[in-house]
Structure 1
Amino acid sequence: MREELQQVLNLLHLPHRGSATPLEAEAFRRLRTFLEERGHRVQTLPFQGVRSYGWELLGISLLLALAPLSPWPPLLGAWAFFLYFNGFRPWSFLLDRHPSQNLLAWKGQGGKALLLMAHVDTAKTFFLYHPQRVRRFRESFLLNALLAFLSPLLALTPLRWPIGLYFLIQAALLLHRELRAPYVEGGNDNGSGVVVATALFLETKPPEGWRLGLALTGCEEVGALGAKALTPHLPPGTLVLNLDNVGRGELFYAEGEGMLLYVPYRGALLDAARKTPGARPLRYRLAYFDTLPLAQRGFPCLSLIRLEQGVPPEWHWPTDTFARLDQGALEDTLRYTRTLLQRVFHRVSS
């Protein structure tokens, strides 16, 4: 494996990098030191986040579970469900109490900007991510969404009792997750993305008229909070290339994303990906990337991911370790992104 890739991998070898935890902070400290030792000026951009998304989903589930009592709590729960899974958290001021951060570095000078982005944090596991269930994750989510949106109407029928029991059981499972489930080591999700983005940033000299940035974000696993906090620090029109779960499987470039509403990508990176052999197109509906809040705000984005049988390998499961990374996949992703950047630099500059 290339020396730059292995060096960054070594920095991330921690038991986990759970969102807004002390170990996430330690990973950021190591990464910042690594970049500064190589002569780069690194900004630390602090923000407040949460350590797990489970408490929010538990609260939404409890509102939906009140269907036997009144249609109003499930109506509120259905609205909260819709907002949350489209990337909006109007209640964040009540919950975001734990410190997290982003790291941001730039090189080059000019009016055009291209940002490499990868999230540092890791998630807690959950029974839905078991290898025997995870391939039906999308179907499970759509069923849950359908029942959530129907719950206010079902609250007016005899089905209010089974729908209430369904969401009460779901709340109990989420409570068990919050109290007992561990954070995963996160070799693929997203040590792999951090490694490739950092190595690409270090090796690439942007052409005249370009600035090349590296953003390593926190709290992606709990609502892309780092990307939201990063937005005010980006020049208007910045091209954003996000790397997530690129350590095993077949390489894809997302043409857009959205668990409920679909947000299409646009811009030079997407155009270049369509003309660069080595990755297949994908409409990503499984979860969200850090690009979601940026694409919603009009930034031209592209996300790269590797999948096996339609899902990220070892997704949010304790087997997602550094030992299971495919070195060839990391090196191939680095080659692909190198070609992608050169195509963008040449096309936009010419």
Structure 2
Amino acid sequence: MLKAREIFEKLSEWPHRGCGSEDEMEAREALIAELTGEYGVDITDEGFKCPRSYLPFFWMIAIGQAAVVLLSPWAPAFMLAAGILFFLSHLLYFDWRVSPLIWWGARTVTANVSASKGAGNRLVILMAHLDSAPSSYAYRPEQVRHFKLSVYMGTFIVGLGALIPAMGTQDVTLPNWAGWIVAVLLLGQAVVASIDFWRFGYTPGANDNLTGVAAATEVASRLWKTMPPDTEVRLVVTSGEEAGMLGAQHYWRQHRDELKQRETHVLNFDTVGYGNLSYVTQSGGFTPVYYDGPLARAAAAVTKIDKRYGHVTAAKHHVGDFDSVWFARDGISSLTVAAYDDEGLMPHIHTQEDKAYHVDMAIVEDAVRFGEAVIRTLPKR
């Protein structure tokens, strides 16, 4: 049986696993090599093209809206249409919904790994993302507490790219200096979002999310060893999560018909190596995402009926979102297991401090046991 600790130690040989990078590819191949030793498990490598991170999208919005603002005096109606497109793309992205322009710049070849065993009407997916994040100024300890405020302020500035040409269509013209100030603010946002990546590159990604990959892999291995009846158990390790949960979005789109036809449950593991183990009942950006389906009810039941998991609590996630969001918004039973410190944050993630020595493997192993208990507690439909 595959062990989370061994998977974590093995994959830690490839830090800085940016989407489509050589480190990510080699780590994925090492994981596949481990999975091939599992009896009766079918493994597939589902390739797709993806942006390397969310930064190309941020720059497209910033440059596009800056151009809209500066050109609106000459073509206000056309610039209004462009400004609305850029603003809606930004708004949908930060509400963690499908955004019209998010796949722009998708030239990097990467892949999701899928390993499955069993058959039946019920499909259980254990999910985690392998790619690591670009280093981010917004996740520095002194900044991450103000993450939502920065998102709201940034959205307001991007919204000016639609408001200014709208005013132009009503013959209300701002002075040139005002347009240049807005353009500088727009481009300044992109610079702030990129500066730590320019300096440091991708993060080591130990807690976010080698811990999740290790936990999901062991849970799958445990279930494969003693299969639940009438069930297919599938491990899905995604890429492109740090580009906007795009690997999971791609998987959801490619497999949606199958997922909707079967009794599907998606249990996602993300950042389970530091703090207090939790299962996430609410996330989302401008509008909330509620996790209240069978998996969430099973998780709540496990914490009540088994004293080994009485310390596991329900949590609301406030910074970003998870691969599970696409499935939850589509009405598919889904849940994310994560860990938080006493302030409800995930320390060190998206920074160069996200290294293996900050990870507590006892929490990862606790997540494994809890995840298996949740799946085995699921009632039959």
Please confirm whether the aligned pair reaches a TM-score higher than 0.5, indicating the same fold.
Answer: yes
The one-letter code matched in structure 2 to 1:165 is V
* Structure-2 residue corresponding to 1:135: 145
User: Contact 2:228/2:376 (CA < 8 Å) preserved in 1?
Assistant: no
User: Contact 1:54/1:178 (CA < 8 Å) preserved in 2?
Assistant: no
280-289 or 324-333, which deviates more: 280-289
Note the C-alpha offset of 1:174: 4.2
Q: What secondary structure, in the 3-state scheme, does the structure 1 residue paired with 2:234 have?
A: strand
Q: Does residue 348 of structure 1 match 2:380?
A: yes
Write the distance in 2 (CA, Å) between the matches of 1:133 and 1:101.
32
Q: What secondary structure, in the 3-state scheme, does the structure 2 residue paired with 1:215 have?
A: strand
Write the distance in 2 (CA, Å) between the matches of 1:289 and 1:282.
13
The one-letter code matched in structure 2 to 1:240 is V
321-330 or 233-242, which deviates more: 233-242
User: Contact 1:58/1:174 (CA < 8 Å) preserved in 2?
Assistant: no
227-236 or 170-179, which deviates more: 170-179
User: Contact 1:227/1:293 (CA < 8 Å) preserved in 2?
Assistant: yes
- Structure with the greater alpha carbon radius of gyration: 2
Q: Does residue 78 of structure 1 match 2:93?
A: no
Deviation per residue, 1:264-323 (Å, 9 max, x gap): 234210111222323222333421211112223332110111112222121201010112
Deviation per residue, 1:181-207 (Å, 9 max, x gap): 410111100000011111111112222
Q: Does residue 265 of structure 1 match 2:286?
A: no
Q: 1:294 is matched with which residue: 307, 327, 338?
A: 327
Q: What secondary structure, in the 3-state scheme, does the structure 2 residue paired with 1:132 have?
A: helix
The one-letter code matched in structure 1 to 2:6 is Q
Give the root-mean-square deviation of aligned CA atoms.
2.3
Q: Count matched residues.
A: 346
User: Contact 1:276/1:339 (CA < 8 Å) preserved in 2?
Assistant: yes
Q: 1:324 is matched with which residue: 358, 374, 380?
A: 358
Deviation per residue, 1:57-87 (Å, 9 max, x gap): 0111123334354262543321221232233
* Structure-2 residue corresponding to 1:248: 274
The one-letter code matched in structure 1 to 2:333 is P
Write the distance in 1 (CA, Å) between the matches of 2:192 and 2:149.
18
Gap change, CA 1:94 and 1:59, over 3 Å in 2: closer
Note the C-alpha offset of 1:176: 4.1
Q: What secondary structure, in the 3-state scheme, does the structure 1 residue paired with 2:141 have?
A: coil
Note the C-alpha offset of 1:144: 1.5
User: Contact 1:65/1:167 (CA < 8 Å) preserved in 2?
Assistant: yes
222-231 or 117-126, which deviates more: 222-231
* Structure-1 residue corresponding to 2:171: none
Q: 1:103 is matched with which residue: 109, 113, 117?
A: 113
Note the C-alpha offset of 1:7: 1.3
58-67 or 36-45, which deviates more: 58-67
Q: 1:282 is matched with which residue: 305, 315, 329?
A: 315
Deviation per residue, 1:216-262 (Å, 9 max, x gap): 11111102121122223354341000000000011221223322232
User: Contact 2:136/2:350 (CA < 8 Å) preserved in 1?
Assistant: yes
264-273 or 240-249, which deviates more: 264-273
Note the C-alpha offset of 1:178: 5.5
* Structure-1 residue corresponding to 2:308: none
Q: 2:136 is matched with which residue: 126, 137, 143?
A: 126
Consecutive unaligned residues in structure 2, runs of 5 or more: 73-78, 168-173, 304-310
User: Contact 2:54/2:243 (CA < 8 Å) preserved in 1?
Assistant: yes
User: Contact 1:154/1:163 (CA < 8 Å) preserved in 2?
Assistant: no
92-101 or 32-41, which deviates more: 92-101
* Structure-1 residue corresponding to 2:75: none
Write the distance in 2 (CA, Å) between the matches of 1:286 and 1:43.
32
Q: Does residue 8 of structure 1 match 2:42?
A: no
Give the TM-score normalised by structure 1: 0.91
151-160 or 241-250, which deviates more: 151-160
Write the distance in 2 (CA, Å) between the matches of 1:102 and 1:305.
21
Write the distance in 2 (CA, Å) between the matches of 1:225 and 1:43.
18
* Structure-1 residue corresponding to 2:232: 211
The one-letter code matched in structure 2 to 1:6 is R
Q: What secondary structure, in the 3-state scheme, does the structure 1 residue paired with 2:302 have?
A: coil
User: Contact 1:126/1:181 (CA < 8 Å) preserved in 2?
Assistant: no
Write the distance in 2 (CA, Å) between the matches of 1:169 and 1:119.
30
User: Contact 2:268/2:324 (CA < 8 Å) preserved in 1?
Assistant: yes
106-115 or 79-88, which deviates more: 79-88
Identical amino acids, percent of aligned pairs = 28
The one-letter code matched in structure 1 to 2:302 is T
Consecutive unaligned residues in structure 1, runs of 5 or more: none
Note the C-alpha offset of 1:3: 7.6
Q: What secondary structure, in the 3-state scheme, does the structure 2 residue paired with 1:46 have?
A: strand
Write the distance in 1 (CA, Å) between the matches of 2:93 and 2:228.
40
Q: 2:247 is matched with which residue: 222, 226, 232?
A: 226
Gap change, CA 1:178 and 1:314, over 3 Å in 2: closer
Note the C-alpha offset of 1:56: 0.9
Q: What secondary structure, in the 3-state scheme, does the structure 1 residue paired with 2:145 have?
A: helix
User: Contact 2:204/2:355 (CA < 8 Å) preserved in 1?
Assistant: yes
User: Contact 2:136/2:194 (CA < 8 Å) preserved in 1?
Assistant: no
171-180 or 109-118, which deviates more: 171-180
